[in-house]
Each structure stands twice: as structure tokens, then as C-alpha cells.
Chains A and B, each alone.
Chain A
Amino acid sequence: MTAGDASPFLGLAHISKLFGSFRAVDDLSLGIVEGEVYALLGPSGCGKSTTLRQIAGLDSPDTGTITLRGNVLFSAADDVFVPPQKRNMGMVFQSYAIWPHLTVGETVAYPLRLRRVAGAEVERAVHGILAQVGLDGFADRPSTTLSGGQQQRVALARALVYKPDVLLLDEPFSNLDVKLREQMRVELKLLQRQVGVTVILVTHDQSEALSLADRVAVMNAGRIEQVGDPVELYENPVSPFVRDFIGLSTCFDVTVSAQRGDEAEVRFDGGDTSFVSGAFRGVTPVPGAKLVAAIRPESIEIVRGSGAVGANRLAGTVETLLFIGDRFECHVRAGGLRFLVYVPRSDRLREGDAVTLHVPKDALSLWPK
């Protein structure tokens, strides 16, 4: 993992954090570009929230440095620590951290008042930001009377009203219901484009990270596994962890039977099926090698009928069909194996139908076992 270009807008270098003997963050480095939306994505306990809190200054690493615009915010070696109130960052907490004793207007005005902004200017700024987050006319309401979604908007307004250099979002949508979550995602993306603020988003929800972020860093066990734009991550995961965490893959044990340039022929263990693969992930498929082959369900083409002709084609029968709203999840038994395939709703398949599967060679990736 590289630390981005020479002097990133926000840079973390060799950050480590121990809780007892548990390595919450393990020699982590990353670089964030000004104006981008950067997501830290990973399962709970992977160190993403700790990393965010270290950027905010609410927690400090044991080793490493953090810089913003080339200024050192934290350095373990030089014993530098800029406290959170001097970092000019904004943050939306998972719990929203709405102060129960203040109204919406007072809450949003809080950062301005402590900066001794003039009264009229405060008024103007508060109304401006409340309008932007869609809370026009809520200024006099006590914050605690608002719904979850509205409280989140207040938290967002409070974090943006003083034009911070960086906006930190800690699992911002996890307390909202699914409908509201999708709506807030769109609104946040629009708002970020308007304001142009750099955003760091921490989430365990891959669709949240993929849909909002310009770049996503997938974290696991205190380390970054891969950084890339969402499409790249989805299509070219570099590690089994990223492959399994983002999207869904069906994996099979295979043995390499032949290699021709950038293609390899593999035989599925426990069957007599052979497929050709054109995607090698950290493996050199010498004949006889035992590997894992992964296929994303949406990459498999399925046609009715059993006329299996050509490479990477296999005849089978539909075992189960699960209707999940926008499509069917179809399990096909073919060649002694079981494949998961996504089928459009318009394909009127039935359980027991004979079908032919086609796995394009680049959709079949080979991984170390």
C-alpha cells in the first residue's frame, strides 16, 4: 500500500495502535486527495473507526505521523499532538451526538459562536446550512424532538457550518432504516458536490462505500488490503478478503491441467468439468497446481436448454429459484457442482428446467488456495 503521492492533502504514515496486545491499527499508511470522498470499508473491529478517531484527534496512535496540507497533526517521534479543536475538521458521529439541551439553531450555531462570529453572520450561516440540509424552519425546534434522519441532518449541518477542511463520517447511516438510508446517500453525495469538502467515510456497508466514495480502502485486521475506485475494487480484487467482502463469489477447488500464455485450463475437483480462466490473482498456474477458482454470480450467463457447445459451457438443471424482488437467485446443478446465478425477473425459468451455463474466461479468476 502506498501513501499516495508525495504530499497528500491528508496523509497517514505508519500508524499503529495497540489496545493491550490487540493491534487495532497495524502500520497503516494512506493518502487522501483534496475534495475526494474516501471510504474506509471493513468488518467491525478492523480498525476503521479507530483510524477515523485518530484523524479527528479523539484518539492518538502509538506510532506514526498524521499530516494535513503538509502540517503535522500528530507525530509520535516528535511528540506532536494537535488537539481536535485545533484541527478544523467536522464529524458526524454514529450516534449523531446531538446535544439534548440545545435547539437545532443553537446546535448549528455552536461552532460559530465559539469562533466569536458576529451575531448577524451566525444567523445567516445557520439558515444557509439548514436550508442546504433540508431543515429550513427547524431552527427553533429542540433537537431531541426530531426523527433520526432529521437529527442526522442537524449533525451534518453542525459539522459543515464552519467550513471544515475535512468532513469525517462515522457509520453515518447505520441507524437509519433502509429507505431513508438510500435517500440520505443521494442527498449527501449532492451536498458534497456543492460544498466540495473532503470526506472520509467509515462504514461496514459495502454498498454505502461503493455508491458514495471516489476511492475505497478496504480494511482488515488493522491493515489496508486494497485501495481503489469502486469499480476497480469490485472487478479486480487483489486479495481473497477483498473478493469475499465486496460482492459475492462462488469458490471452487480446482487443479490446473494446462497453461497457454495468459490462459489456464483448470479441472474442478470432484467433477470432470474443465474451464479456461484468463484472470490470475497472485498465482502462476503451472500444471498440477491446486488453486481456488472464483466466479461472481452475475457474470455467469444462463440460457434455457441443454445444448452445451463450446468452451466454458456446461449443461445443468435449475435446483432452486429464490425470488428476491428485482431478480431470481438461481442455484444450478451442473457437472456435479452447484453454481449460483442471478437471473432477471423476465426469464421465466422453473425449478427442474434444463439450462446451459457460460462462464466467460475473464470472469473465472484463479486464487491461491
Chain B
Amino acid sequence: MIPLSLLIMSLLLSCGGAILCLLLKHREGDIRLGGSGVGIAAALAGLGAGLTAIGAGQPAVLDAAGPYPFAHFVLRLDPLAGLMIAVISLLSLVAWIYGFAYVREYAGRGVGAMGFFMNAFIVSMMLVVAADNGFWFLIFFEMMSLASYFLVIFDQDDEAVGAGFLYFLVAHGGSVLIMAAFFLMANQAGSFDFAAFRAHPLPAPLDSVAFLLAFIGFGAKAGMIPLHIWLPRAHPAAPSHASALMSGVMIKIGVFGIVKVGIDLLGASAGPAMLGWGLLALAFGAVSSVLGVVYALAEHDIKKLLAYHSVENIGIILLGVGTGMIGMALHQPVLAVLGLMAGLYHLLNHAVFKGLLFLGAGSTIFRTHTKDMEEMGGLARNMPWTALSFLVGALAISAIPPLNGFVSEWYTYQALFAAALDGTPLVKFAAPIAAVMLALTGALAVMCFVKAYGIMFAGAPRSHHAEEAREAPAAMVAGMAVLAVACVALGLLAPLVAPVMGRIAAATIGTAPVTLAVGATLLPGDAQQATLSTPLIAILLIAMAFLPIGLKAVFAAKRGGDRKVAAPWAAGYLPDQHMSASAGGFAQPIRMFFAPLYTMRQAIAGRWTGIAHGFERVVTLARRTEPLADRSVIAPIAGAVDASGKWLQIIQAGDFRIYCLYIVAALIALLALAV
């Protein structure tokens, strides 16, 4: 029961924090200190809850019967929920540390409200993953969407409000579909409890319908293509520590939902149709990963670029999850565990490095007051710690060994390889194609992050603000450092982390765990298939580095070791700041080679803006029809009242003698009636 009590403690602390933020409304200094303090405590308790839930063998269940039979309040902490709670807590911990300094940017613009919505957002996310009842799940899912909506529109400018509206539409469209899926299952089970859903599985064609509804509904939340359109607009609009939470954690709840419905609720009893579900996830994953990164490359706005990368990484996670489903459908427990474990590992990794990158972007925006990369440049000199953390995040998201992003992508490749080796013909065809898509994604991601880091932090400053920039405040650097260390640790300590992920995956699927590490070596269930050792790669990289560094040192010592500075070569002209590489120019070859994909984006975006415009038209129409009722019903009544009032004015001449006469007349009339 330790995990549950820790979770409840964390939830109560967060609720307390939310109320505190509201009560202290005008004392912003106190809100920063109090809000962050309570938030950090809540996050630590949540982290404890998550980790103990992963460690515990049995799921912990809290059953508080509510007043209504359909709204049974049940919290269930199984290892999967534990992982999600741990991820949410880790990111919120960092967001609170970072926010302590960062919210000064928002001084005088409702820091209290921001603290309230942050707390509400975190509490609702934790409750969504822990809820074991469809009714409460939906309630908390809505709460999460609303709280994050208010964070998106926090800036109150046109862009933020527009982005918020689009987000609102997509989020609610998604929840309607999820609701429909839950109603289908509840109809069969006779209750909204997930336990009942598991006990009374849906019959054959209906389960696919329910899965499809849930897949699209949760997919909209996760931001997979073509339902991603809100993501590159909404995430950049929110304050950076909220973006880190949204991009790092909230979209993962979408993936969590797909795993919950597809594997936990429907998977155990699903028939051969499940192969189709897995392939569907694989297809959406492959398309989302490639298109996400292609679109990211064309962005100049650092937060938009990062948001598109979230689309890419959701795709990679879906590749793992899809392979896991294929494994379940084919009754190959090793493949199922391998695939799901790769997806979950990448989910954790992406939360860490995307959180880090968003915070890094926030720090640079905090100092340069622009989101445009072209206005930054050369920040590594003045903001060395931010630059270093951002570089770690950039290397990790580009899946560079031995960092964490590489480990989970390696497992994804191995899962796809295993699927291609022993699958049905369709799987044998699809899995290698997905692997090639992943390779293309990896190469594009490297390009994108060389561009992002290079244009922002390397070279010469591109604007006055960039030149004057100072290192971010200590609290912000500390927040980034925690995540940078986590990136390195999750990579180098993969032989310890991978088996834990494997246990979570096995517990979710309900099979025996798979051997994923022996000593310091990682393996995908079978050492014959492949091996990997991130600690060994790190050791070899460090050991081999002595050779070139030593060589240079020896010769530099011989020469006296001085370096001379010389202006860059500019074909004989005077070097000019505008000559150096630009964000647009750097990605230009890809824009040229992948031009059709960018045209396609316009088409998809057009469709969505069409829907948004449709809503606007509805609103205008409503505005136009509203006075109709006024004119035909209310106006005549009001007119009649007016007219009768005017008519009555005749008897009000204003002379008190006449009023006395009225009273006398009334008295006489009453007396006459009485007699």
C-alpha cells in the first residue's frame, strides 16, 4: 500500500499547492517560493509512488465506492501506471525547479493562475493514468485537457488564443471518440469499471470498432499525423515549463491510452484482428516519425521545431507499441515484450530529452526574448551550461550512442527485426519498411538538431539580444541539469533500466519477462540476434579520445601552445555576419528534395483550418440568428410594454392634488364594492 499512500500524498500536496497559488493571488514572490516548494514535494512523493509501484509485484488498488454505481472511484497502480506516474513526477519536479526562476518572465500577468493550472494539470494527469474506471478516466482526461488549454492561452494574444481554440477542438473531438469506445465496452460489461471491461471482453467485430475509436481519439491527444495539427501551434504558445510538461508527458497519455485500450483492456482476449491493430499502429508510427522530422527541419521557431519533433517521437513510440501488439497477435511473447518495452523505454526517454530541450529553449527565449533561431546564435559563449545541457538533449534525441535515445531506438530496431524474422508474410513485409523509415528519421533528426544547436548556440551572435545574453538563473540551469544527467544515466545504465522496462511490458501483456540484459550487455531476448553495451561504448570513446587529445597536446606544447585567431575565409571579401549559415539555408537541400511532403502538409493543414473556419462560420451564424428570436418574440413584447407604459403616463400628471384625488376615488370605489 506504500505506492498508493505516496500517490495520495502527492495528489493532496498538489491540490494544496493549487489552492495556495489562488489564495496568494497578489503576492507573486510568495507564490513562486510556496508554489515551487509544494510542487517539488508533491513531485518527489509522486516519484516515490511511481517507482514503488514499478517495483511491487502486485498492482495496488484503492476502491472508494462513490454515490453512483456507474462512477465507482477506483485507483489502480500497476507497473504501467507506475511508470507513467514516475515520468509525470520527474518532469513536474523539474518544471517546478525551473519554474521558480522562469515565471518571473510572467510577473504581473497572473502567476497565481499559472500555478493553479499547473497543479491542476499535474493532478489530472496523475489521476488519468491511475484511474481504473471509465467514467472517472474521462472526467480526469477532460480536466487535463482544460487545464492545459488554459496554459496554452496564457499569453492571451491572437496566436495563443487561436492555437488554444484549435487544441480545444481536437482534444474534445478526441474525447468524444474515446467516450464512444468506453460506452461500447461498458455496454458489454454492464459497468464502467476497467476490471469489468477486462472480465467481459467485446465480441469480434465490436472490439476492432472500439479499438479504432480509441486509437483515433487517443491519437489526437498524442499528436500523430494527420491529427497533429494542433501540436505545433499549441505547444509553442504555452510557457516553456508547461510546454515541457505538455510535450514531455501529456502527449504520452495518448500513447498510454492506446496501450491501455489495445493491450490491457482488449488485448488479452482479442483474436486475429489484433494483427491489424498492430499494423495500423506501425503504419501511423512510420508516417508520423518521418513527416514529423521533415516538417521540423523547415521551422525557424525553436519551440515549433521541438513540437514537430514530438510528433516524430510519438511515431517512434508507436512503432514499438505496434510491434508489441503484433507479437501478441502472433502469440510470440518475446516479440510482444520486446516491442512494448522498446515503446515504453522510448516514452520515458522522450519525456526526459524533450523536457530538457523545451527547458533549454525556454532559457534562451528568457534571455534573448525571441523564439526565432535566426535572432540567436553564439549563445554557447555566454550561456555555457544551457548550451551543454541542450547539446546533451540534442545528441540524445538524435539517437547518438551511448545516450538514452539510441538505446530505445536500438530496441525498436531489434523488435522490428525479430518481427521481420518470424512474422506472417504481411509482417515480414511491413517491419523492414518501418525500420527503413526509422533510419530515415534518424538521419533527418541529426540534421535537424545540428541545425538547432548550431544556429542557436554556435558561431557568432545574430542579434543584439544574443550578444548581451547572460547565463540563465541558477534554478533554471539546475532544472536542465537534472534532465541532462538523466539522459546520460538512462543511456549508460541501460543494462539496469532495460530489464525494468521489460518487466513493466511483461506485466502489462501478462507474460513472463524476457532476458534483456546480461551483465553490462543488452540483448533483445536472444544474444545470437544482437548485443549492445552502452557502458562499453562510453569507455571505448573515452579511452580512444586520449589518442587525438594527447597528440594535439604534445604538438601544441612543442610550439608553445598558442592559438591565433583569424577571420573566416570569405572568398576574398570581408567576412560579414550575414554570410554565416542560416536556419533556412541549412535545411534548404531537404526542403528541395522533400518538396512534395511539404505540399502535402499544406493540404492537411488546409483541411483542418477548414474545420476551424467551419466553427467560426457556425459562431457567426449563431450570432446572426440570435437577434431573430429577439425581433420576433422579445421585441414585440417589449414594444407592447413600452406602449402601455406611455399610455399609462397620461394619468401621471405630476400634480400631487390629482394623486390625492385618485386616492379618494379609489377609496370611494372600494367602499362602493364593500357595500
Do A and B originate from a single complex?
no
**B residues engaging A (CB < 8 A)?**
none
Interface residues, chain A, with chain B CB atoms under 8 Å away: none
